[in-house]
């Protein structure tokens, strides 16, 4: 009996491995995240600079490209780790329920587990896509806006551009939207605005995985 149980356990472990994300899938996911982040950063930088009265484009330097690649891969690996943990949890729950209903893990457990895992991964692919899109857009928007803020504070736009210069005293940085989900830690600062020179006093957003907040540059 022990030999049979050991064999079945190995079959279960081998089946789980089939449904984990491969290194190639994780790398593809990181590329998608990086592309999305760059697009969101460029759009946010352009919008922030337009609000300041000088519509400017932003392109990542070689060093920034490498940093973005590293961050994207780290995020992809984090998504894969969550995916694996949740997959194992779903497997354990299914096997526990099966054993309670049937008295033991018999020969029918494995094909039924495979059907469950297929359904689970099909549904989970939507979650994976949403995680990638959410991170790319939210982080990209934050980094693009803060990138412009840093450039302004560093004096990059002290000179006139197309007969327009940035009046730093007229710029404010806010956290939008001005509301938060119930019991959200962001309740304390949603809608907060400070002069650009005090931008460092604002908390970092998005503050948590389900955070709906981002920065918004406002020109008085």
With a CB cutoff of 8 Å and minimum separation 6, the contacts of 140 are 36, 37, 38, 39, 40, 41, 43, 44
So what's the pLDDT on residue 37? 93
- Asked if the model's pLDDT at residue 217 lies above 70, the reply is yes
Q: Which residue has the higher pLDDT, 88 or 106?
A: 88
CA 209 to each of CA 71, 145, 213, 216: distance values in angstroms, whole numbers, following the listed order: 15, 19, 11, 19
- Asked if the model's pLDDT at residue 188 lies above 90, the reply is no
CA 136 remoteness from chain centre: 6
Q: Tokens 């392109």 — which residue?
A: 59
Per-residue pLDDT tens for 148-157? 999 998 888 8
Q: Tokens 């969550």 — which residue?
A: 82
- Asked if the model's pLDDT at residue 180 lies above 90, the reply is no
Alpha-carbon distance of 113 to 119, in angstroms, equals 10
Alpha-carbon distance of 76 to 128, in angstroms, equals 10
Q: Which residue has the higher pLDDT, 2 or 155?
A: 155
Per-residue pLDDT tens for 90-102? 999 999 999 999 9
- Asked if the model's pLDDT at residue 173 lies above 90, the reply is yes
- Asked if the model's pLDDT at residue 52 lies above 80, the reply is yes
Closest to 181 in 3D by CA, of 207, 212, 216, 142: 212
Q: Which residue has the higher pLDDT, 20 or 162?
A: 20
């Amino acid at each position: 009996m022990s030999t049979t149980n050991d064999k079945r356990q190995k079959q279960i472990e081998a089946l789980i491995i089939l449904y984990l994300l491969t290194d190639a899938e994780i790398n593809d996911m990181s590329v998608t995240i990086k592309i999305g982040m760059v697009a969101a950063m460029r759009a946010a930088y352009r919008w922030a600079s337009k609000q300041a009265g000088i519509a400017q484009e932003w392109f990542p330097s070689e060093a920034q490209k490498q940093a973005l690649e590293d961050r994207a891969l780290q995020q992809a690996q984090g998504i894969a780790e969550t995916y694996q943990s949740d997959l194992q949890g779903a497997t354990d729950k299914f096997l526990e329920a099966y054993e309670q209903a049937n008295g033991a893990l018999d020969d029918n457990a494995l094909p039924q587990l495979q059907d469950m895992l297929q359904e689970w991964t099909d549904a989970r692919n939507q979650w994976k896509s949403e995680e990638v899109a959410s991170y790319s857009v939210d982080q990209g928007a934050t980094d693009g806006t803060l990138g412009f803020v840093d450039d302004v504070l560093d004096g990059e736009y002290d000179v006139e551009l197309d007969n327009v210069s940035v009046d730093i005293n007229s710029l404010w940085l806010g956290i939008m939207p001005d509301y938060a989900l119930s019991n959200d830690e962001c309740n304390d600062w949603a809608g907060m605005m400070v002069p650009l020179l005090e931008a460092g006093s604002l908390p970092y957003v998005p503050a948590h995985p389900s955070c709906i907040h981002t920065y918004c540059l406002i020109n008085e």
